[in-house]
Amino acid sequence: MGGSRGGIYGGASTVEQGPGGGGGQGSASRDAEAEVWSRRVRDVVSASPANRRCFECGQRGVTYVDITVGSLVCTGCSGALRGLNPPHRVKSISMTTFTEAEVLFLQAHGNEACRRVWLGTFDPRTSARPDARDPQRLKEFLQDKYEKKRWYDPWGEGGGGGIGVGVHPPPHIWRHPPP
Ligand SMILES: [Zn+2]
């Protein structure tokens, strides 16, 4: 006659009903929510041509999000960004889950907005972008860019060209013409 403890109270003692409470493994709703936000990240990538190219080296195909500045980068550059001082937070688009705050931050920034700030005074005639196959040059470029803020333009965000230019892409809506 032992074992009656698991009967009535067993099922109700979990934290599934509490929004944001505890959680942990095995909570399907949290996983589903995380999947929604991860999909939003992929939407951000496909929403803008600039977001499909690595923000640092320019090569096609982005696999990581730089959560620190809100940009999209390739695998090689994500590793270099982690090595900065202080290190940037980068997350794999396909291997990690994202929070709402991270997705909103990314949506509000993206590569084009980041370019206006972090490469605001960058002149391709006098400075060259690094090649991802040259880790040492890439590292020096990122140190110039983020640690020394060599091309940083505090007015790049919202200043100059007006408020919100290109920062908020239109929602991805498919419209079928009426028959
Ligand atoms: Zn790259």
Mean pLDDT by 10 residues, the chain (179 residues): 48 45 61 86 95 95 97 96 97 93 96 96 89 89 97 74 41 49
In a domain, 83, yes or no: yes
Overall domain count for the chain:
1
The DSSP code for 70 is T
Ligand 1 center from residue 66 Cα (angstroms): 11
In a domain, 92, yes or no: yes
Rounded Cα gap, residues 169 and 164, in angstroms: 10
Ligand 1 center from residue 9 Cα (angstroms): 53
User: Per the structure block, which two tokens stand in for 131?
Assistant: 């090649």
Ligand 1 center from residue 75 Cα (angstroms): 7
In a domain, 173, yes or no: no
Ligand 1 center from residue 13 Cα (angstroms): 48
Ligand 1 center from residue 53 Cα (angstroms): 8
Ligand 1 center from residue 35 Cα (angstroms): 25
Ligand 1 center from residue 47 Cα (angstroms): 19
Residues contacting 119, CB < 8 A, separation 6+: 145, 151
Chain-centre distance for alpha carbon 5: 46
Q: What is the pLDDT of residue 143?
A: 97
Helices assigned H by DSSP within the chain: 8-12, 28-47, 75-82, 100-108, 110-118, 135-142
Ligand 1 center from residue 36 Cα (angstroms): 26
In a domain, 12, yes or no: no
Please report, for residues 15, 42, 44, the alpha-carbon distance to residue 103 in angstroms, rounded to integers and kept in the order given.
26, 10, 9
Q: What is the pLDDT of residue 1?
A: 52
In a domain, 5, yes or no: no
Instruction: Give the CATH number for residue 99.
Output: 1.10.220.150
In a domain, 156, yes or no: no
Enclosing domain of residue 59? 29-147
Q: What is the pLDDT of residue 132?
A: 76
In a domain, 74, yes or no: yes
In a domain, 60, yes or no: yes
